[in-house]
Structure 1
């Protein structure tokens, strides 16, 4: 049978085709194989829709199975909150009561944040720092001017700052964010990636109001994750101004922390008032590298947690996460 006759026979057939019946893979003509596969896929899709419709009419439509992802099949962590017993929950409460951030959550002080950079920052890095200054209440953005981190810490302690953000870059590309909590730590270093400022998102810089934003921390489910979430939350004022309708979100997924900045918008529709989100920017992604118990010290520091440069040294599998 010639190729044209095969195609004509397929196009005239209305029954569902199967590869084993037609032996599509054995057809030498590439164009014929392609047409057969397209027709087969179309017919299978129609048959699936018809079967689903029939089950729905008969009331036997079963709920679809939940999709398996790396996140949903993550390995169990002994420090996860949902795995802790009564004694473990008591230890978590003690950790919170004795942590460096206990005075913040007790509202004993207002955060004051200094934002600085590595030496000779690129223009985009400086714009990113200025946008963080507008997002974080009571924050000040200043150039570093080759001042060592140790001297910055001492100066900030004298001036009453509570936290320091240092935006690092390599070859004019932002690649790191260091968060130092004052006066005695801890210090965390994050890998910084996927940075997009408001201009790149086609958002107007002037749209960011001066109201204090609401902070949303999502999916930090372990004791280490709780510490990191507390560090990020302590950068912002504990009393948000909800009339500004601004919200900043730190969403943890597979140990990647995604940052988004939105404003609530209310619109009147035919069925009533609708609520939407308008992204203001910037957006970026963080991944924890290490946590030091005190302020930054590159020589004699003690690490509470550190991830090795080699994946298999610490990460036993792709389904093990720490936050």
Structure 2
């Protein structure tokens, strides 16, 4: 009996030892699992970036935003410095500098348009037969009649006075109660080549009707972002010299026609001594107008003359300086009509409709 009891006690102690070893191993495994989970969570928390929008406190949020903005600015400056150093080193070694990356914009990713004019397009061959050939061929001198809508406002005449200073040979006539068709007939008899009607709404010019005489076409533009000369900081006063005309990015057939309509308003013999430039820049179907005077300055020559040096052989550093004369505004084409203005029976070449705005990368000019 004693031997049997000793054997049972030995078996019991062995089972207890096995159970204790199993518990130790399970605890150890649990501790290692907890450590792994904690390490993974710490890595995830390190990877997760705290955005300024996640901070509820306004002062802390603005401070974090300013810090991130400053870091981006420093990184951008560092990249620009490295790029300039690489270009300078390549030029010193006589190698070709690395090509600069072209930024992806809405303008250079526009949708394909079949009406974009190529250099050998037949449209350019038909320029000699359109309505603007007599003016652009210098057979006629542009003569512009400018008037307003029937209910005019205070900023309308101010805008018209600045238009007259921009467009040579432009004349202003009060609208009164005359119908627009009668004004067109009067302008034809007086040999005006174009008619411009400034429409105002809520004391602000909001539309422009440009009509080529005597046979059209008629373009209707919407005006936005109008800034008069007096509101432009450090503005200049334009002279009476004939301005140069710059037309940018009118690539389609419709854009080519609008560009020739605008070109027919200005004389074709600019006086370069006046250094006046009127610019119509088309971008995303918005036509931005700017009026500048420019001057070329030789910085090295100015420095040498101030120091009293003579016959110095230094490379000239010529820079152009611009002074805006105003006004400043933006045009958006709404319609292009055949012939002169006719609101009832007129035929339209092109009309902007809301259904056309299906994509941000679809342009018509």
TM over 0.5: yes
Aligned CA-pair RMSD: 3.2
Q: 1:65: how far off?
A: 2.6
Residues 20-49 of structure 1: CA deviation (Å, up to 9, x unaligned): 526554999968898788777767876787
In 1, Cα distance between equivalents of 2:186 and 2:61? 73
Aligned 1:161-200 pairs, distance under 5 A: 161-200=192-231
Q: Aligned ranges for residues 239-318 of structure 1 at < 5 Å?
A: 239-270=269-300, 271-308=316-353, 310=354, 313-318=355-360
Report the structure number with the largest CA radius of gyration. Answer: 2
Q: Which moved more, 1:113-122 or 1:262-271?
A: 262-271
- Once residues 28 and 279 of structure 1 are traced to their aligned partners in structure 2, the CA distance between those partners, rounded to angstroms, is 44
1:252-291 deviation digits (Å, cap 9, x = unpaired): 0000000000111233423544321111001111000001
Contact 1:19 1:25 in 2 (8 A): no
Closer, same or farther: CA 148–247 of 1 in aligned 2, 3 Å: same
Matched-pair contact (CA < 8 Å) for 1:291–1:303: yes
Secondary structure, aligned partner of 1:157: helix
Instruction: For 1:119-268, list aligned pairs within 5 A.
Output: 119-202=150-233, 207-268=237-298
Partner of residue 21, structure 1: 46
1:264–1:278 Cα contact (<8 Å) kept: yes
Once the two structures are superposed, residues 70-126 of structure 1 have per-residue CA deviations (whole angstroms, 9 ceiling, x without a partner) of 1110111111123x7x5xx12x03431221011112211000000111124222210
Find the aligned partners of 2:116 and 2:323 in 1 and give their Cα distance: 33
In structure 2, distance between residues paired with 1:172 and 1:47: 47
- Normalised to the residue count of structure 2, the TM-score between the two structures is 0.72
SS of the equivalent of 1:305 reads strand
Distance 2:159 2:285 in 1: 23
Q: CA deviation at 1:195?
A: 1.0
Q: Which of 97, 109, 116 is 2:147 aligned to?
A: 116
More helix, by proportion: 2
> Aligned residue for 2:362?
320
Q: Secondary structure at the match of 1:154?
A: helix
Structure 2 Cα separation of the partners of residues 276 and 317 of structure 1:
38
2:117 aligned to which of 81, 100, 107: 81
Matched pairs, number: 297
Secondary structure of 2:230 counterpart: coil
| SS of residue paired to 1:199 | helix
Q: TM-score, with normalisation over the residues of structure 1?
A: 0.81
Q: Secondary structure at the match of 1:224?
A: helix
- Partner secondary structure for residue 255 of structure 2: helix
Q: Which moved more, 1:23-32 or 1:237-246?
A: 23-32
SS for the counterpart of 1:226 is helix
Once residues 46 and 130 of structure 1 are traced to their aligned partners in structure 2, the CA distance between those partners, rounded to angstroms, is 47
Deviations 1:195-220 (A, max 9, x none): 11111114567x21111101111100
Q: Match for residue 70 of structure 1? A: 106
Q: Any idea what SS the aligned residue of 2:231 has?
A: coil
Structure 1 gap ranges (5+): 1-17
